[in-house]
Amino acid sequence: MQQTSEILRELKIKVTPQRLSVYLAFNKARGHLSADEVYRAAQKKVPAISLGTVYSILENFCAKGLLREIKIDFNKSFYEMKKEPHHHFSCRICNKIFDVHMPVCSALRTNTVDGHIIDDFQGYFYGTCAGCLNGKKKK
């Protein structure tokens, strides 16, 4: 898509088919994707794309502020389109990740604490998700 190229160019990101396919994967999924999930989605547009390239693109997009890395899962990273700051919830049963609809309290938006300068904050909740509470099967 032409407009997607524009978005990347505005961020000084060199436009390549691989990068477009990664961007579109997030645009379509709208959730939290692992590197492997991005890889599989991108392959539909660019079959020859390599996983190493996906990692490289994810790193680049995060550096440019397009994506945000989430380390709530103890085994691997997830990525999402950067939007308003919000916390995340990880279900110990089904391992799904949810956005938490709770205002991020102002104290967390401070940019300094104990003399340290803060440039990012991540809030992670762990427990049992609503779906699993209702007896739904493990994914």
Binding mask 81-100 for Mn ion (x = CB under 5 A): ------------------x-
DSSP letter string over 91-102?
Answer: ETTT--EEEE-S
Residues 5-44 that bind Zn ion (CB under 5 A): none
Tracing tokens 């999930």 back to the chain, one arrives at 37
Partner touching 52 among its own copies, DNA, Zn ion, none, CB below 5 to 8 Å by kind: DNA
The structure tokens listed for 46 are 């660019």
Is residue 85 a contact residue for its own copies (CB under 8 A)?
A: no
Q: Which of 48, 105, 107, 117 binds DNA (CB under 7 A)?
A: 48
Is residue 69 a contact residue for Mn ion (CB under 5 A)?
A: no
Neighbours of 44 (CB within 10 A): 12
The structure tokens listed for 128 are 């049992």
Is residue 91 a contact residue for Zn ion (CB under 5 A)?
A: yes
Dihedrals phi, psi of 38, to nearest 5 degrees:
-65, -40
Q: Residues interacting with Mn ion, by CB under 5 A? A: 80, 99
